[in-house]
Amino acid sequence: MGLARVKIVLVEPAGALNVGSVARVMKNMGLSQLVLVNPQCDPLGVEARQMAVHGVNILETAQQVETLPLALTGCQRAIATTARVRSLSTQLEHPRVALPWLLEEAVTSALIFGPEYRGLSNVELNYAQRFVCIPSSADYPSLNLAQAVAVCCYELFQITQGFPEVEPQNFLPTPQPIDAAPLEVLEGYYEHLEAVLLKIGYLFPHTATARMEKFRSLFNRATPTAGEVAMLRGILRQMEWALQCLPTPIVGHGSEPNEF
């Protein structure tokens, strides 16, 4: 089943009760891969086990990693959940619109949830390609972590039962090829790109983060394959070679420096 390829990723979960509840609802809805990023509680303690009930095996097999990029190793698609408007122009989507994308192809995918006390930061959101916001009352829009996971797991389960999908509104995602580059390959490219752009003076340290968010958005929409990412990194390596080996052009004597 497609559900077996979906990772539920909890970033810095603070409450053992929440982690146990997440394991239980995952068991209810047929999901099995739980990944905990730098957990701030004991996910195998008494409280977590009591809440997990028959989902204790999900707690026991959960992967614990130090960083979000490590949690996304092997994934080709990632959706992040958020309750706030992002600084980027990326559209927040209804779960019924976005979540089917995680199951469309035979690829490993991830659904990312932030800490209870703050949600996902802009830096953490950058690791996802699409963004889900669960509709709720304006009087009290903030959902508990376990509740948010339950809503999304339920929607994923309904998709596998053959329930009709909701047609996207004002959103035309670029179809992603089945051989899309794993997210850790893309992350390596982003780090390489930022380093080179800093070297050539296109980026400056105080503006690098904002500019790189735009590059991430661009390439996430394009969903390049691993081969295409390798080609892009080859260009960066050639630029680095040129910086070291080619003579520095002399500006002056009627010539003007290139402007970009």
Give the integer Cα–Cα distance in Å for 240 and 252.
25
Report helix, strand and coil shares of the chain as percent, to nearest 5: 45, 10, 40
Tens digits of residue pLDDT in 121-131? 989 999 999 99
- Per the listing, tokens 């809503």 go with 151
Tens digits of residue pLDDT in 218-247? 888 888 888 888 999 999 999 888 888 877
- 163 band by pLDDT with thresholds 50, 70 and 90: low
Q: Does residue 258 have a pLDDT over 60?
A: no
Domains of the chain: 2-160 (3.40.1280.10), 183-245 (1.10.8.590)
Q: Residue 217: its pLDDT value, please?
A: 85
Q: Does residue 252 have a pLDDT over 70?
A: no
Determine the length of the chain: 260
Higher pLDDT: 75 or 165? It is: 75
Question: Is the Cβ–Cβ distance between 17 and 42 less than 8 Å?
Answer: no
Give the integer Cα–Cα distance in Å for 26 and 31.
5
What is the mean pLDDT of the segment spanning 184-206?
A: 92
- 173 band by pLDDT with thresholds 50, 70 and 90: very low
Question: Is the Cβ–Cβ distance between 184 and 72 less than 8 Å?
Answer: yes
Q: Residue 5: its pLDDT value, please?
A: 95
- Per the listing, tokens 């990412």 go with 229
How far, CA to CA in Å, does 19 sit from each of 38, 190, 201?
13, 31, 45
| Two tokens, residue 211 | 């500019």
Position 151, amino acid? V
Q: Does residue 1 have a pLDDT over 80?
A: no
DSSP state for residue 103 in the 8-state scheme: G
Tens digits of residue pLDDT in 67-111? 999 999 999 999 999 986 555 556 889 999 999 999 988 889 999
Q: Cβ neighbours of residue 18 under 8 Å, at least 6 residues apart?
A: 51, 116, 144, 145, 146
DSSP-derived 3-state class of residue 11: strand
Tens digits of residue pLDDT in 11-42? 999 999 999 999 999 999 999 999 999 999 99
